[in-house]
Amino acid sequence: MVVKGNHDFKVSREQLWIYLMDPIVLAKITPGVSRLEIIGEDKFKSVSEIKIGPVKASFTGKLKVVDKDQPASFVIKMEQLSRIGNAHVSVQMNIEEKEGGIAALAFDGKADLSGVIARTGQRVLSGVANVITREVFSALEKHIEENKQTVESEESIQSMKTIKPPELEDPIDPAINSIG
């Protein structure tokens, strides 16, 4: 399943980068993900409940952010496992600066599906991809809207940049390195 899309946000490239590096934001915008638990630097465990059309299932998975080139691009790798099939996702995220303080986010990637969803879902996969794409952008848009005030000063941007991941409660799952 190909996932592809682009959208302009009325924030600077740096601001958008900071949002996207925030696990809380990532959790908000990743379709179906209800929370991300940090399990290492740029590595998260995700818990999600996906409901798309007639399909409803719980997924557990891992997400990691790699190949970071601040503030221009990064890659999200995700593995989502469920009873009805798994998704191995790799998405290239690019942020471009446009005139007028606009950041253009473009993503391009694919989700390799397996199991029952791969075997029976073909008919509607392009619809699923569209829904997911829209969800990402609208959630991000919403988040930006809600947080406009808090990131308006350069200072706050700087302060966010220095946020460190919280102390790990669980040891890092070695399997996380095997994603993608």
Partner 1 sequence: MTKYIGKSVKRVEDKRFITGQGKYTDDIKMPGMVYAYILRSPYAHATVNSINIDAAKSAEGVVAIYTGADIPEAIAGVPCGWQVNFKNGDIMKEPPHPLLVRKKVRHVGDGVAIIIADTRANAKDASELVDVDYDLHDAVTDPKAAAQPGAPLVHADAPNNIAFDWQLGNPKEEVAAALASAAHVTELDFVNQRMIPNAMEPRSAIGHYDTAYDKYTLYTSTQNPHLTRLLMCAFVLGLPEHKVRVVGPDVGGGFGSKIFHYIEEALVVWCSKQIELPIKWTCDRSEAFLTDAHGRDHVTNAKMGFDADGKIVALQANTFANMGAYLSTFAPAVPTYLHGTLLQGLYTTPKINVDVTATFTHTNAVDAYRGAGRPEATFLLERLIDLAALEMEMDPTELRFKNFIPAFDGVEQEGYVTQVALQYDSGNYAPVLTRALEMVGYEAFREEQKNQKGDKLLGIGFSTYVEACGIAPSAVVGALGARAGLFESAQVRVQPTGKVSVYTGSHSHGQGHETTFAQVVADRMGIPLEDVEIIHGDSDSVAFGMGTYGSRSLAVGGSAIVKSIDKVLEKGAKIAAHLLEASTDDLDYAEGKWTVKGTDKSVGFGDVSLTAYVPHNYPEGLEPGLDFSSFYDPANFTYPFGAHVAIVEIDKETGFTKLKRFIAVDDVGNVINPMIVDGQIHGGLAQGIGQAMLEGAIYDETGQLINGSYMDYCMPRADDFPSFEVDRTVTPCPHNPLGVKGAGEAGCIGSTPAVVNAVIDALWKGGHKVKDVKMPMTPERVWTAMQG
Partner 2 sequence: MIPNSFDYKKATSVDEAISLLGDDVQILGGGHSLIPTLKLRLNAPGTLVDISKIESLKVIRDNENSITIGGGATHASIAADAALSEHAPMMTQAAKEIGDIQVRNFGTIGGSMAHADPAADWPAVLLACDANVVIQGKGGKREVDIDQFFKGFYETALADGEIITAVRIPKMASNRHSVYVKFKQPASRFAIVGCAVGIEMEGGVVKSARIGMTGVGESAYRAMNVEKALVGQALTAESIEAAVKNVTEGAEVMSDHYASQKYRTHLAHVYVKRALKMLM
Q: Which residues bind partner 2 (CB under 8 A)?
A: 52-57, 83-84, 116-117, 120, 122-128, 130-131
Query: Considering the rule CB under 8 A, would residue 75 count as an interface residue with partner 1?
Result: no
CA distance from start to end of the chain: 15
- Rounded-to-integer distance, Cα 85 and Cα 137, Å: 25
Query: Considering the rule CB under 8 A, would residue 40 count as an interface residue with partner 1?
Result: no
Identify what 52 binds: partner 2, partner 1, none; CB under 5 to 8 Å per kind. partner 2
Q: Which of 35, 83, 142, 148 binds partner 1 (CB under 8 A)?
A: 83
| Between 11 and 117, CB nearer to partner 2 | 117
Q: Report the candidate in 75, 97, 76 with the shortest Cα–Cα distance to residue 33.
A: 76
The minimum distance between CB 49 and partner 2, in angstroms, equals 11
For the chain, percent helix, then strand, then coil, each to nearest 5?
35, 40, 25
| Between 138 and 153, CB nearer to partner 2 | 138
Q: Which two tokens stand for residue 43?
A: 């590595």
Number of neighbouring beta carbons within 10 Å of residue 168 = 12
- Rounded-to-integer distance, Cα 133 and Cα 31, Å: 9
Query: Considering the rule CB under 8 A, would residue 112 count as an interface residue with partner 1?
Result: yes
Report the interface residues with partner 1, using CB under 8 A. Answer: 83, 85-86, 88, 112-116, 118-120, 122-123, 175, 178
